[in-house]
Chains A and B, each alone.
Chain A
Amino acid sequence: MLDIVGFCGLTIVVFLGWFTVQQKTRKVLLNPVLMSLLTLIGLFLLLGIPYSDYMQGAQYINILLEPAVVLLGYPLYKQLRLLRAQWRKIVLICFIAAFSSLTISALLANVMGLEDWLIASLVTLNITTAIAMSTSAELGGTGAITANIVFIGGMTGSIAGVYWLRLIGVIQPISDNLSTSSRESITEQKALGLAIGSTAHAIGTATIVKEFPLGAAYSSTALILCAIISAIIAPFYIPLLLSF
């Protein structure tokens, strides 16, 4: 009982602490989950606490992983109106995004000689954590690796995504141009949102929400659609791809 209260309490306190820090600083790298995991790992190594002891207490937080996926039905419902207008094109773009992310990551991992369980853990790197974990579990992956590699995808898109899209000419070099509501800039915000949402999921969406509000709406639509599409195709596609 003490384990449960102690470890759940510790997790909550550490998370809320970093959550507050990020709210104040708005720095992408100070992501509360990333900082909490570094703090907890540091603490456990220092005090010699094995992960299994921690998990015995914190497993009660883990129970919430499945309801966390169900909750995403709310933003999906809110985005349905947005989807209705151009749903065919948006679904097609998200399908291509999910398909190419699975293909590129699986092929790269295969070429580098990684083991199958590790490939299964990493191919869902561009989809939102909760769905990435359940999808990679179906493929034979490990939740701890999946959740961390999802971070790498999220951080790459959040830190470099907007610069990269400017560099390759998807959005104009000066961000001020996007604040005008010309047809050009609306298309650019949509493209930016779909690109960030389909790769850097919730972390990326949170990063662009202030500068590109329309982009963020498209980003949250893309993050959910890509997750659903990946969850549907990955269990068939990945084993097939790796069998060649």
Chain B
Amino acid sequence: MPTFKVVSHYFIAVATVTCCLLLGRLIHQYVAFLPPALYGMLLFTLVLSIGNSTQLLPEHLFHQPMSVALRYLAIVFVPVTTGVMQYADLILASGLKLVFIGVITTLSVISLVGLLSKKLLKEDGNA
């Protein structure tokens, strides 16, 4: 039944992501080098690579759940970004400074990375 198949893919994806996150938290307790979720992300990449090469967890299982989740991912940032309303005083006092820093930093890094990449990646054309 296709519906059951789809549901099972979502179930496998949620279970894998949850396990990676929990393991990430565990690793963070012993080696606090990276935030727990970032350990989780690297573990997830590792699980996908090993799972696909051994065919124990082939990549196609994750395809649909991941494209849906990544498409709507940004919703998780809405409550926290709305929190800026608590900082009205700060925005009035330093808002322009923050925008200035944001714009100048971004344009400087874009220029640096753009020029550097063009120079560095030039030799090996179509890799």
Interface residues of A, Cβ cutoff 8 Å to B: 11-12, 14-15, 19, 32-34, 36-37, 40-41, 44-45, 51, 54-55, 58-59, 61-62, 64-77, 80, 85-86, 89, 92-93, 96-97, 100-101, 104-105, 108-109, 112, 114, 118, 122, 125-126, 129-131, 133-135, 137-138, 143-145, 147-149, 151-153, 156-157, 160-161, 164-165, 168, 170-171, 183, 186-188, 190-192, 194-196, 198-200, 202, 222, 228, 231-232
> In chain B between 62 and 121, which residues have their CB closer than 8 angstroms to a CB of chain A?
62, 66, 69-70, 72-87, 90, 94, 97-118, 120-121
Contact partners of B113 in chain A: CB under 8 A: 93, 96-97, 191, 194-195, 198-199, 222
Contact partners of A101 in chain B: CB under 8 A: 105-106, 109
Interface residues of B, Cβ cutoff 8 Å to A: 17-18, 20-21, 24, 33-38, 40-45, 47-49, 59, 62, 66, 69-70, 72-87, 90, 94, 97-118, 120-122, 124-127
Known A-B contacts A165-B114, A192-B114, A200-B106; A67 and B18 likewise in contact (beta carbons under 8 Å): yes
19 contacts across the A-B interface (CB closer than 8 A) = A15-B75, A33-B75, A33-B78, A40-B82, A51-B83, A54-B82, A55-B83, A58-B79, A66-B40, A67-B21, A69-B40, A70-B17, A114-B94, A126-B109, A134-B35, A144-B80, A145-B84, A195-B110, A231-B34
Quick one: which of B20, B49, B72, B75 has the most chain A CB within 10 A?
A: B75
Contact partners of B44 in chain A: CB under 8 A: 70-71, 73-74, 77
Given contact pairs A114-B94, A170-B114, A195-B111, a sample of 10 additional A-B residue pairs in the complex whose CB atoms are under 8 Å apart: A34-B81, A55-B83, A72-B41, A76-B41, A152-B99, A156-B102, A164-B110, A171-B114, A195-B110, A232-B34
